[in-house]
Amino acid sequence: MTYSIVARDPQTGELGVAVQSHWFAVGPTVPWARPGVGAVATQANVRVAHGPDALELLAAGASAREALEQLIAADPGAASRQLAIVDANGGVAAHTGESCMTHAGHVTGEQVSCQANIMASSEVWPRMLEVFTTAAGPLASRLLAALDAAEAAGGDVRGRQSAALLVVPATGERWQADVRLHVEDHPEPLVELRRLYELHQAYELASRGDELTGEGRHDQAAALYERAFALAPGNHELLFWAGLGAVQTGAVDRGLELVRQAVALQPGWAVLLPQLSAEVAPAAPLVCARLGLA
């Protein structure tokens, strides 16, 4: 009752999984990934343990094919399950049990596997692969494009409910993720997942801005806050920091207006502003004075 995609980006080494299902909270059960190890989707009559167990096998040196064969051979319910694995070398393996409910199947490509069950048509998973392999942009964007393609091809015969996106870097600690987003229950989970991904991108820029602020590189931080706000113009937190950044770079009138808008949306910013030191936000004292909050 799910369609999903697992893939490795050959340029960056990132590993990712994206999934949608007419089932509550698909994110904690289907997608699994670990930096430098692999990515896994376990679904249909889902055996959640296949996710972490596959990663452990990969980490111990097994290929995607070897890990899948070992797990399926030891699983008495394998006939009703789907499992797809991509390893850190780009190896791919997938399984669709003969008892999975129709339409069900999978298709693999270069460093990618698409799989689905209880679909409206058998066109779903081939269309996912086609769109993924022709899409541009970072891995996360291409994974989302594949999900949209699945839905356009008919999707889950029962409808939509939850979705998730997980992308991990080529190297790093086992807990690290570049993107980890869940939509647990929503009438349009793919629309919501894309909205969250765009907000995630905005906050990634803001977080880099925070790092630059901590290094005293305030002008560079201000530019990132502006870019973050442009990606999520309705977010009052990003609006507030973009305003302070604009003042920092000399656009005082514009910056003051942005801060005023943020305060109008969330009055708590007027409480926080006087508490910001010049080391944290060099523009804060000027903004406080101009807004009568000093």
Number of domains in the chain: 2
Same domain, 78 and 40: yes
Q: In what order do the strands lie in the sheet with 81-87?
A: 31-34, 38-44, 81-87, 92-96
Residue 162 lies in a domain: yes
36 and 178, same structural domain?
yes
d(CA 46, CA 68): 14
Q: Which domain holds residue 116?
A: 2-186
- Please check whether residue 209 lies inside any domain of the structure: yes
Boundary residue ending a domain (186, 217, 243) = 186
Q: pLDDT band at residue 279, thresholds of 50, 70 and 90?
A: confident
| Predicted confidence (pLDDT) per residue in 15-74, tens digit | 999 999 999 999 999 999 999 999 999 999 999 999 999 999 999 999 999 999 999 999
Identify the CA nearest to 138 among candidates 15, 45, 232.
15
As to burial, measured by CB atoms within 10 angstroms (0-12 exposed, 13-18 middle, 19+ buried), residue 11 is exposed
The secondary element (H helix, E strand) that includes residue 182 is: strand 179-183
Tens of pLDDT, residue by residue over 190-224, are 999 999 999 999 999 999 999 998 898 988 998 99
The model's pTM: 0.93
Residue type, 224: L
Same domain for 124 and 239, yes or no, is no
CATH number at residue 72: 3.60.20.10
One-letter amino acid at 40 equals: V
Residue 194 within a domain: no
CA distance 168 to 170: 7
